[in-house]
């Protein structure tokens, strides 16, 4: 029996759809059959399965497990929790060959999807296309797998806490931190985590609710950090940390309520790594995506590291880390990846604890670290609709025009042009029919000139920015 997926469900880096419209139990079952068949052919036999707190997640988990076992896979159910807990279950167990987390990530409540790991590596791109091809052809293995349940949360929390090993206990005891779980899947894990942390901790919205009644679970949108800002101000806390719906993306504010964006967090982690642990990581490659500030790349070099600009997308970043043996990487979207004393995956709970560790080791408050960063003026990430058939073609046209000019450009992912005013970026989204633009300068006048250059290039390709659309 074949299963033709809705084409909007199969994306470059994961599988995501709207429940009852483009994603349902039959899709989950077919994904299990396809993934299990591919893993079996590669010599694997056991898959860990977890899910987030969305209302539809238990239904999808049931169907996914049916598909996996029907392909001959044994299944380890790790239950409801953050996506990095599933990654931990896959990475830390010798008898587990792959993992699938059912999650809608930071998307609205009616979305859901799947993030996958295949024998320790990200499952994306051509892998997902092959999953779709097998689904259409009904090209699946047959078998009868078993199902067991494992409680991995306590071990997962214990591993996170090791980030504070060797740090002065008195310094840690003075830390005062706010946390906002956003009613996402990280809530119960966060409650257990802070019980093991020194210092004073104040928590918001740890009760899992797939309807997200308090605010949308995307910590990269400043409006979603208002409750955390209020908590930090009311309790006079050192800083605050927020999570997305499945706990793999971090947002943060300092003690003055200023947002610490993804590239700024990476700047703090890089300074801690390269200055305080130079015996192991001197000259290490630190990776950031093409949307990151020039200040980050300059600071990494100043700290003695090798900055590397790479393509946006958590699976692409993870793959590049393995290729370059990078101990640290991050994206503007709040994904931060640690491979120094951790597993190389993106874990916002671990990133929150590493922020405590960095502040303690560097001997500066998070507010001081944020305040000492170079003052850059940025546009927000501007996303605007284009026809799917035009988005990559338009970027190619712009790249060709820039190449024929005297402009200095990086085409790692889209087109990033650097000049005396700063830099601007245009790239095609990997997951939506949108173009993404961003610009950065040291002055408002310079930023205006950069944005005008973006508009000029779009106009030459018959496009205009229009109103920015959501993720």
Separation of alpha carbons 281 and 131, rounded Å:
38
pLDDT in tens, 10-40: 665 678 999 999 999 999 999 999 999 999 9
Asked whether the predicted pLDDT for residue 468 surpasses 80, the reply is: no
Query: What's the Rg (C-alpha) of the chain?
Result: 22
Residue 367 has pLDDT above 90, yes or no: yes
Mean pLDDT throughout 281-292? 96
Residues 148-189 pLDDT 10s: 999 999 999 999 999 999 999 999 999 999 999 999 999 999
Q: Which domains does the chain have, with CATH numbers?
A: 15-150 (3.40.120.10), 156-371 (3.40.120.10), 377-460 (3.30.310.50)
Beta bridge partners of 200: 176
Tokens matching residue 75: 């299944």
Q: What pLDDT, on the 0 to 100 scale, is given for residue 7?
A: 61
Other beta carbons less than 10 A from residue 400's beta carbon? 10
Q: What is the pTM of this model?
A: 0.94
Catalytic residues, by residue number, are 105
- Residue 92 pLDDT exceeds 60: yes
* pLDDT at residue 12 in the model: 58
pLDDT in tens, 93-135: 999 999 999 999 888 889 999 999 999 998 988 999 999 999 9
By the 8 A CB rule, do 455 and 379 touch?
no
CA distances from 456 to 406, 460, 461 (A): 16, 6, 9
Q: Tell me the two tokens of residue 329.
A: 């990487």
The tokens 């591993």 sit on which residue? 159
pLDDT digits (tens, 9 = 90+) for 184-201: 999 999 999 999 999 999
């Amino acid at each position: 029996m074949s299963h033709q997926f809705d084409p909007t469900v199969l994306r470059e880096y994961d599988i995501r759809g709207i429940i009852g419209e483009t994603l349902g139990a039959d899709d989950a079952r077919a994904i299990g059959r396809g993934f299990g068949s591919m893993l079996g052919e590669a010599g694997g036999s056991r898959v860990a399965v977890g899910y987030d707190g969305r209302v539809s997640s238990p239904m999808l988990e049931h169907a996914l497990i049916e598909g996996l076992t029907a392909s001959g896979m044994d299944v380890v159910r790790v239950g409801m929790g953050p996506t990095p807990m599933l990654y931990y279950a896959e990475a830390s167990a010798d008898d587990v060959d792959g993992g699938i987390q059912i999650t809608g990530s930071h998307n609205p409540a009616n979305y859901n999807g799947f993030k996958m790991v295949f024998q320790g590596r990200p499952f994306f791109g051509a892998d997902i296309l092959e999953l779709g091809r097998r689904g259409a052809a009904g090209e699946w293995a047959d078998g009868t797998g078993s199902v067991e349940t494992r409680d991995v949360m306590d071990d997962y929390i214990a591993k996170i806490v090791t980030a504070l090993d060797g740090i002065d206990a008195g310094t840690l005891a003075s830390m005062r931190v706010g946390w906002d779980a956003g009613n996402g899947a990280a809530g119960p894990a966060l409650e257990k985590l802070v019980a093991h942390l020194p210092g004073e901790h104040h928590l918001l919205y740890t009760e899992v609710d797939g309807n997200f009644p308090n605010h949308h679970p995307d910590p990269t949108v400043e409006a979603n950090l208002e409750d955390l800002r209020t908590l930090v101000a009311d309790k006079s806390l050192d800083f605050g940390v927020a999570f997305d719906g499945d706990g793999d993306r971090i947002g943060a504010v300092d003690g003055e309520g200023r947002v610490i964006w993804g590239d700024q967090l990476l700047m703090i982690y890089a300074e801690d790594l390269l200055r305080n642990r130079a015996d192991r990581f001197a000259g290490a490659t630190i990776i950031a995506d093409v949307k990151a500030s020039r200040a980050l790349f300059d600071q990494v070099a100043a700290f003695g590291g090798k900055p590397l600009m790479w393509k946006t997308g958590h699976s692409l970043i993870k793959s590049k880390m393995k290729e370059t043996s990078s101990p640290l990487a991050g994206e503007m979207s709040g994904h931060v990846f640690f491979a120094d004393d951790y597993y190389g995956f993106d874990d916002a709970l671990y990133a929150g604890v590493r922020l405590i560790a960095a502040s303690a080791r560097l001997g500066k408050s998070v507010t001081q670290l944020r305040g000492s960063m170079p003052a850059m003026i940025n546009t927000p990430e501007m996303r605007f609709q284009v026809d799917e058939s035009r988005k990559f073609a338009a970027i190619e046209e712009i790249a060709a025009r820039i190449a024929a000019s005297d402009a200095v450009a990086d085409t790692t992912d889209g087109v990033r042009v650097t000049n005396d005013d700063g830099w601007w970026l245009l790239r095609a989204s990997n997951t939506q029919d949108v173009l993404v633009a961003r610009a950065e300068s040291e002055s408002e006048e310079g930023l205006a000139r950069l944005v005008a250059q973006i508009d000029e290039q779009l106009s030459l390709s018959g496009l205009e920015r229009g109103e920015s659309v959501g993720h």
